Structure 1
């Protein structure tokens, strides 16, 4: 692979887990055409797909893949079909077979694209599909339709879904020409609670903010994963376990913004586990920052946003707010790494344990679109100069 292949899209994929009732389960995709759209953070003259079967219980067999570029935005529909679709080959073959536990890189596909364009990926899977390797909450609308409809502008009999399957990365043949920031965290980073198909997550706003500040080549990659914990495996690998894949594995990354710990505090009450102490969470955050720095990536720490108004009782368990406050105090007080005070940016001034009403998506935990913009506005562009 040429040295100038860089990441234009990244997704933190995980496994399906029926134990988390609040998480959407994957649809049955056997015998269907699956059309998904991802937004490219940088452009180039050619693309390559990285597809993952990391958590599958059998081989992932895709009988054919096509890609096309659309700049129109909005959910997949007849106006965004692949009118100029290009086949995506692997080792010169149209049929992909990705063994369980592995990922696969496509051959280059000549397909000019610009930063901000959507890449439409259409896969046909004739046979059985292994257990999901997916991003359960992607804030993007995909479609699944019966039969092989890869080349049709409009899918007949399509059913929508809001997860992202198999697409771990999209690479383009263009070198990095500015800061490459990995936004690393849980559902707050991922953007749960923001409007679907509208690119209103805080990393989306941050890339626009950096461009407006004069860093026109800046790229912000979203490595958020809903329900993710810093210290323990749950719905997917812990933040510590996947750091090598989703941060250190981005060769051109210059910075990482690390925000996590809310699920470490809240989920034990739901799962019948012992909650970690504040210093364990703080230690986990600082350990990730140290790992990043050892690999030449400059870390930025973020405070844990308020969740005292959560509609989920486990967030309101006695003692949880004290742990959050202790972690945030420790993060703000340390002097090794710069800090973004996300908590203060979206807190209710009259009750800092809760999200401000204007920033709340409605569940008391996840900021909506305005809240995500406030998170991005809290980040000083000078950190990435």
Structure 2
């Protein structure tokens, strides 16, 4: 038996949402490909100053929740997640048949009826939340781990909102599983995140943009020991300066490369295959009511992508998603409408293409995968 992450979502500081947890049941449906007999959850209160009270967490694979198991900590069904902390619950006996959805029902509260530690996704193909005020909203529960005999591959997706939205990353996982490579999802994307510096500027969302990607990569990704890392980060380093943040924060090509090399070296040191994705175009996008694209930024993006293409395992998504008649902008099929983010259809198409490239690179061998059920 081995313990595998079957789902993980990195949280950020969404205090701006003023979400009230008290009396609100959180229901998650997690799509996953494995089988197993024991399970644990990771709970997150990392960005809050008050303890999170766990009133109840039940887990089931029955949509009617008729045969549920109670999640505990130190054999207690009610406990707290201390302010600023994350913790793993007890491992509980829970039989999961191959490919069965995991259904979680949780009730949390805290003293001020506000939580900041959370995530907001667009895709719900891997995880679906019943709380929809701000897209696919998740709080409290950040990971699910399963004891299994299936040699699944855990793939970490690192980046900003293009990763956080989930369209392309969920599609990669879906397409790999369809091709016989059993893989689970690990989303370490944070909307607004930059590689070179922390969230700053005039946006009311700046606290949720997180610390610099270079400073969170070790903890959020490498320390989780995934089998493969797919990285798409650096676009906000160009998008934000001069609009939502000071132009002085715009990195040079050399600075962007220097910071990106740190990611590559950390992954190599941990012996984790690292797959960089080139930065897509963003002309005609706006930030804080101002055009975010300039010729200077385009020159940096182009030069950075040229360097990235000299690195091992790089996948050129820029070439896949750009407008054939204007290389500075997204093709309409991939454009959500804001000329920066992927549409659902475009993200899903891109995910299929990235999955094919990962298989072509032979970084994760299908031959080594076991199909034995627990």
Which TM-score band applies after superposition, normalised by the shorter structure?
0.7 to 0.9
Among 215, 227, 232, the residue aligned to 2:192: 227
Instruction: Report the 3-state secondary structure (helix = DSSP H, G, I; strand = E; otherwise coil) of the residue aligned with 1:48.
Output: strand
Note if contact 1:52-1:167 (Cα within 8 Å) is conserved in structure 2: yes
Aligned runs of 1:47-126 on 2, under 5 Å? 47-69=39-61, 80-114=63-97, 116-126=99-109
Q: 1:143 to 1:207 in 2, by over 3 A?
A: closer
Q: Distance in 1 between matches of 2:274 and 2:98?
A: 25
Note if contact 1:40-1:114 (Cα within 8 Å) is conserved in structure 2: no
Tell me whether 1:238 sits opposite 2:212 in the alignment: yes
Aligned to 2:263: 288
Aligned to 1:16: 14
Measured after TM superposition, the shift of residue 134 of structure 1 is 0.8
Measured after TM superposition, the shift of residue 103 of structure 1 is 1.0
Aligned to 2:118: 134
Tell me whether 1:354 sits opposite 2:329 in the alignment: yes
Aligned to 1:34: 26
Aligned to 2:341: 366
Tell me whether 1:266 sits opposite 2:244 in the alignment: no
Q: Distance in 1 between matches of 2:276 and 2:156?
A: 12
Aligned to 1:210: 176
Q: Distance in 1 between matches of 2:41 and 2:3?
A: 11
Among 159, 164, 167, the residue aligned to 1:185: 159
Instruction: Report the 3-state secondary structure (helix = DSSP H, G, I; strand = E; otherwise coil) of the residue aligned with 1:163.
Output: strand
Tell me whether 1:321 sits opposite 2:289 in the alignment: no
Note if contact 1:44-1:172 (Cα within 8 Å) is conserved in structure 2: yes
Q: 1:102 to 1:317 in 2, by over 3 A?
A: same
Aligned runs of 1:335-350 on 2, under 5 Å? 337-350=312-325
Q: Distance in 2 between matches of 1:329 and 1:360?
A: 23
Q: TM-score, normalised by structure 1?
A: 0.81
Aligned length: 343
Q: Distance in 2 between matches of 1:351 and 1:267?
A: 22
Q: Distance in 1 between matches of 2:295 and 2:98?
A: 46
Measured after TM superposition, the shift of residue 208 of structure 1 is 2.9
Note if contact 1:26-1:163 (Cα within 8 Å) is conserved in structure 2: no
Aligned to 1:382: 360
Measured after TM superposition, the shift of residue 64 of structure 1 is 1.2
Q: 1:160 to 1:347 in 2, by over 3 A?
A: closer
Q: Distance in 2 between matches of 1:114 and 1:346?
A: 38
Note if contact 1:63-1:125 (Cα within 8 Å) is conserved in structure 2: yes
Measured after TM superposition, the shift of residue 191 of structure 1 is 2.6
Note if contact 1:305-1:342 (Cα within 8 Å) is conserved in structure 2: yes
Q: Distance in 1 between matches of 2:229 and 2:98?
A: 20
Q: What are structure 2's unaligned runs of at least 5 residues?
A: 200-208, 366-374
Q: 1:26 to 1:162 in 2, by over 3 A?
A: farther
1:61-101 deviation per Cα after TM superposition (whole angstroms, max 9, x unaligned): 1111111225xxxxxxxxx4423222111111011211112
Q: Distance in 1 between matches of 2:277 and 2:257?
A: 11
Q: What are structure 1's unaligned runs of at least 5 residues?
A: 19-24, 71-79, 145-157, 193-200
1:34-62 deviation per Cα after TM superposition (whole angstroms, max 9, x unaligned): 22333335332222100011111111111
Q: 1:117 to 1:318 in 2, by over 3 A?
A: farther
Q: Distance in 1 between matches of 2:145 and 2:48?
A: 23
Of 275-284 and 369-378, the range deviating more from structure 2: 369-378
Q: TM-score, normalised by structure 2?
A: 0.84
